[in-house]
């Protein structure tokens, strides 16, 4: 599959008099991880349910793997792997049995089924625990089993709704590693998350939703640049002298002096820091401490929505 794995045009969904999603134009290129960010109630899960054929759009259209999800839902589902927020595993079964049932739901022939179950359990590092009851699994193991079940039918597109919600940090990072492996293997992933560090670590591009509408789309780096400049912060006993020395330099956007701290706004803090230190030496300014700060996706989120993300770390 080449081109765009997911496209929506004017996609919308109304519940009574409430617009859960409005006029959404989404483009997810093949082979990328696309993040959906937004405060709770922004429309992320509603969008995902429409893309996975679980909910009919009120307006607009959506295509996954080139197939119109409204006109050809059964065909589209063959190309979609879906891991919802709710854990879908069966606690009275073993991990292997859970995967086998999932394979049967996708009508995978028995001989092929056994091979694929072993293959995906191995891919997700679950073979040592495959014959244990799922009720004995940790939250991280259960989530990896959900991922395995979503991959059994070899989908072109994997759609993940809050895949690491409630997991501890080591378990979250294990899931991240598996998502990266899928992307590096040419897979396409749509990831809805409230964890901004997760989006920053995994996503090639992100779309921020608010009140059902797309607010902004871009790479994490592009969105951070829209929010503002990097800042080099220098603490010194001679802040006014250093501030005056830096203020007229062409690569300095702005200088602010507050008490003993000189904040220098620049395009790229790591490369500017040595130059700031050189100016301090040239003007005989003793530096007590020098650090830099860069805009984060938290800053982007607050800037464009006015809210703090529910999962902000």
Model confidence pLDDT, tens digit, residues 91-117: 899 999 999 999 999 999 998 999 999
Question: For the chain, what are the domain ranges?
Answer: 4-224, 229-294
Q: Measured on CA atoms in the order 64, 70, 76, 81, is the torsion positive or negative?
A: positive
Determine if the pTM surpasses 0.85: no
Model confidence pLDDT, tens digit, residues 24-69: 999 999 999 999 998 888 999 999 999 999 999 999 999 999 999 9
The CATH number of 229-294, from 3.30.70.100, 3.40.50.720, 3.90.1720.10, 3.90.550.10, is: 3.30.70.100
Task: Please count the other Cβ atoms lying within 10 Å of the Cβ belonging to residue 221.
Answer: 10
Q: Give the separation between CA 228 and CA 214, rounded to whole angstroms.
A: 21
Q: Residue 313: pLDDT band by 50, 70, 90 thresholds?
A: very low
Question: Could you tell me which CATH class the domain 4-224 is placed in?
Answer: alpha beta
In terms of residues, how long is the chain? 313
Model confidence pLDDT, tens digit, residues 190-210: 999 988 899 999 999 999 999
Q: Write b or e for each residue in 113-146: b if 16 or more Cβ atoms lie within 10 A of its Cβ, otherwise e.
A: beebbeebbebbebeebbeeebeebeebbbbbbb
Q: Is the pLDDT of residue 132 over 50?
A: yes
* Helix, strand, coil percent values for the chain (each to nearest 5): 40, 30, 35
């Amino acid at each position: 599959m080449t081109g765009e794995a997911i496209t929506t045009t004017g996609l919308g969904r109304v519940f009574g008099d409430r617009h859960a999603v409005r006029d959404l134009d989404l483009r997810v290129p093949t082979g990328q991880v696309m993040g959906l960010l937004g405060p709770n109630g922004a429309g992320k899960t509603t969008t995902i349910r429409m893309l996975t054929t679980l909910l009919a759009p009120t307006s607009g259209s959506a295509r996954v793997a080139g197939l119109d999800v409204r006109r050809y839902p059964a065909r589209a589902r063959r190309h979609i792997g879906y891991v919802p927020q709710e854990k879908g595993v069966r606690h009275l079964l073993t991990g292997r049995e859970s995967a086998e049932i999932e394979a049967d739901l996708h009508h995978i022939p028995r001989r092929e089924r056994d091979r694929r179950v072993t293959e995906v359990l191995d891919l997700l590092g679950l073979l040592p625990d495959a014959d244990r009851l799922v009720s004995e699994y940790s939250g991280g193991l259960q989530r990896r089993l959900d991922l395995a079940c979503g991959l059994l039918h070899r989908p072109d597109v994997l759609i993940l709704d809050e895949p690491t919600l409630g997991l501890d940090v080591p378990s979250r990072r294990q899931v991240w590693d598996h998502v990266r492996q899928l992307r590096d293997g040419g897979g396409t992933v749509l990831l809805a998350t409230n964890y901004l560090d997760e989006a920053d670590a995994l996503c090639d591009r992100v779309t921020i939703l608010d009140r059902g509408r797309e607010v902004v789309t871009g790479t994490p780096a592009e969105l951070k640049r829209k929010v503002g400049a990097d800042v080099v912060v220098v603490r010194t006993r001679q802040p006014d002298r250093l501030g005056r020395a830096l203020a007229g330099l062409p690569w300095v956007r702005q200088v602010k002096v507050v008490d003993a701290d000189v904040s220098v706004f620049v395009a790229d803090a790591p490369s500017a820091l040595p130059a700031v230190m050189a100016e301090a030496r040239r003007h005989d300014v003793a530096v007590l401490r020098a650090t830099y700060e860069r805009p984060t996706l938290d800053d982007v989120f607050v800037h464009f929505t006015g809210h703090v993300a529910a999962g902000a770390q």
